[in-house]
Amino acid sequence: MSNKGTAVITGAANGIGQAYAVRLAKDGFDIAVADVVEADKTKELVEAEGVKFFSAVVDVTSPEATIAFAAQVQKNLGSITALVNNAGIYPWKSFEETDYDTWRKVIGVNLDGPFLMSKAFVPYMRENKYGRIVNVASTTFFLNAPQMTAYIASKGGVIGFTRALASEVGADGITVNVIAPGLTNTKSMRSENAEIYEFLPKMQAIPKVIEPEDLVGVVSFLVSKDSSFVTGQTIAADGGQVRN
């Protein structure tokens, strides 16, 4: 076991989650990944940093699978100190095109996921009287952004859930915060909407396309001991487009 303990990251087989995994490995955490696809590349990158890695194919919308995963992480790596609820989906659809199944799916992954993962992992953190939970929202919550009703509703829910959970677990040494990234360069996001990269970054105070690596320092701080008295907060990491 590393001296920082284990950081659990959902959706870290790809994109921004993979970058969080690599940074937290560099910080000295052992890394556990839950994703619906295999996390082979993430395993290679994390192990290159000299820490332990464990992953399982887990759907974060499953109450049974998330509980079973927490037990596996405890058994394989132990000392669970951090949870980053990063798994998320963002189908680009107008309100008219958003049927109830799409709505349920987006709320399921983006909001039920952090709830279920927290249900599964908070008991281990309570036992240790220490924990760091980072939920992932999006600055679309603070913007005039069309075609994203289910997504923005889910990310608003994530901010509300974070505030409420922070109030219940603080006495046990557990903090709960949100990182709200701006538009970030990932394959998934480019496949949903490539044109948006042409104009949106220009509206930021720092007018450059955000790369996953630009976000990792915020998560590194929020899972560190240095953030002990920061809880229930939302940190926008978006090049200064919104002021929340």
What are the catalytic residues? 151
Between CA 41 and CA 5 the distance in angstroms is 22
For 49, residues 6+ apart whose C-beta sits below 8 A from its C-beta are 22, 25, 26
Closest CA to 165 of 129, 128, 136, 135: 135
Between CA 33 and CA 12 the distance in angstroms is 6
Q: Judged by CB under 6 A, how many residues of this single chain contact ligand NAD?
A: 28
| Cβ neighbourhood burial of 164 (10 Å; 0-12, 13-18, 19+) | exposed
Instruction: Based on the shown chain and the rule CB under 6 A, indicate whether residue 35 belongs to the binding site for ligand NAD.
Output: yes
Instruction: Based on the shown chain and the rule CB under 6 A, indicate whether residue 136 belongs to the binding site for ligand NAD.
Output: yes
Position among 183, 223, 235, 236 found at the interface with ligand NAD (CB under 6 A): 183
Helix axes 149-169, 100-107, angle to 10 degrees: 30
Stretch that binds ligand NAD, among 11-19, 73-81, 216-224, 227-235 (CB under 6 A): 11-19
Q: Which is nearer to ligand NAD, 6 or 61 (CB)?
A: 61
**What mask of x and - would describe binding to ligand NAD in positions 59 to 98, judged by CB under 6 A?**
xxx------------------------xxxxx--------
Between CA 16 and CA 214 the distance in angstroms is 10
Stretch that binds ligand NAD, among 48-56, 91-99, 160-168, 186-194 (CB under 6 A): 186-194
Q: What part of residues 214-243 is at the interface with ligand NAD (CB under 6 A)?
A: none
Stretch that binds ligand NAD, among 1-9, 75-83, 166-174, 180-188 (CB under 6 A): 180-188
Between CA 50 and CA 34 the distance in angstroms is 20
Which residue ranges make up the site for ligand NAD (CB under 6 A)? 10-11, 13-17, 34-37, 59-61, 86-90, 109, 136, 138, 181, 183-184, 186, 188-189
